[in-house]
Amino acid sequence: MIHAVNLTKQFGPVTAVDRVSLDVADGEVFGFLGPNGAGKTTTVRMLASLISRTSGSAEVAGCELGKESDELRLRSRIGVLPENVGLYEATSAYQNLEYFGRLHRVEAGTLRANIERLLRMMDLWERRDAPVATFSKGMKQKVALARTLVHDPILLFLDEPTANLDPEAAKMVRDVILELKKERRTIFLNTHQLDEAQRICDRVGILRTRLITIGSPDALRTGLSGVRTVVRLDRASESVAQALRDRLHVPVEIDGDRLIVSVRDPDRQNPEIVEAVVAAGGRIREMSQLSASLEDAYLKIVRDAEASS
């Protein structure tokens, strides 16, 4: 759905996005993480053909970026939710969606059906004729999300969809995004919410002008510190720890009554841990898996990138 190669954007002497290459598959939810000013919004704007690129190339939703004849076709195939909802406050939710549907040249009957389906999905059908100015922030964000979907785009760019929302409103919006994921929509999600990225995204990329890393949230988390299996025993002894080291050839630490075993493949290695502990005379009370959070991984990756630059 998206294939970008060395996408670069410069504003005068400032490089906002530096040689970003990435691929997003059909039906994938791709999270774009990065600190403020990292170039996330600029990347989205380039991919949505809202601003030009300085160099590099990209194909988005079957359209070549920068090719004038493809620009309108591209914008009719994608939906962009900017960071600021940008609704017409004096008009109703229905009128907002109707206007954008008509700008996208959606046929009248289809447009009516789409608006009703989307407003019902967002739980706003009963409020369809009320001016948007009377809506809460969360409701406005849902109207904006519906506006992004009104022409049934094949690719969605969502820029910080839950930023500045209270937890309840953020959850409402997140639930809608999860619904869209179930529908197998391709979503490019810019977010600061690492918990959100972990729950929603199939893969994430971390940007700091350059794309620092890319992978599944689990791969990033485990890539940071590996996966650790924690075994709580009646009494953790050095002999049991040594037996594990000899059998699995992995680092083992003793922490009180717990053994912390670094593993690469928990599904394969955990049964072996049990066998080795029991064979060494240990009595297992509890086993659990310990891994770094995506936030830990993100902070480490960004700090390492800062240090190296």
Partner 1 sequence: MRLSQAWLIARHDIGIFRTKRGILAGLVALPLGVSVGFPALIVYILDQHGSADAGSYLPGLIDAFGFWFVIGAAMLPTAIAAYGIVGEKVERSLEPLLSTPSTDSEILLGKVLAAFVPTMIAIWAGSVLYQVLVDAVTRSALGYLYYPNLEIVLLVFVLAPLAALYAIEFSIVVSARVTDVRSGQQYSGIIFLPLIFLYIAGEIGYNLDPTVLAYIALVFVAVVVGLFAVSRKTFHREEILTRWK
Binding site for partner 1 (CB under 8 A): 11, 45, 48, 50-52, 72-73, 75-76, 79-80, 82, 84-91, 99-100, 102-105, 144, 147
Q: Provide the CA 81 distance to its chain's centre, in angstroms.
A: 14
Give residue for tokens 């977010």: 191
> Between 99 and 125, whose beta carbon lies closer to partner 1?
99
Spatial separation of the C-alpha atoms in residues 71 and 86, rounded to whole Å: 22
> Between 11 and 264, whose beta carbon lies closer to partner 1?
11
Smallest gap from residue 256 Cβ to partner 1 (A): 55
> Between 60 and 80, whose beta carbon lies closer to partner 1?
80
- Residue 264 neighbours by CB under 8 Å, 6+ apart: 226, 227, 250
Smallest gap from residue 158 Cβ to partner 1 (A): 12
Question: Over 177-219, what HEC string results?
Answer: HHHHHHCCCEEEEECCCHHHHHHHCCEEEEEECEEEEEECHHH
How much of the chain is helix, strand and coil, in % rounded to 5? 45, 30, 30
Smallest gap from residue 276 Cβ to partner 1 (A): 58
Question: What does DSSP assign to residue 233?
Answer: E
Give residue for tokens 């009248």: 108
> Between 71 and 202, whose beta carbon lies closer to partner 1?
71
Question: Which residues are 207's β-sheet partners?
Answer: 211
Q: Provide the CA 54 distance to its chain's centre, in angstroms.
A: 26
Smallest gap from residue 260 Cβ to partner 1 (A): 49
Residue 184 to residues 9, 118, 176, 181, 305, Cα–Cα distance (Å): 30, 16, 13, 5, 33
Task: Give the H or E element holding residue 230.
Answer: strand 227-233
* SS3 assignment, position 34: coil
Smallest gap from residue 131 Cβ to partner 1 (A): 9
Amino acid symbol at 269: Q
CB atoms within 10 A of CB 252: 23
Smallest gap from residue 144 Cβ to partner 1 (A): 8
Name the pairing type of β-strands 186-190 and 155-159.
parallel
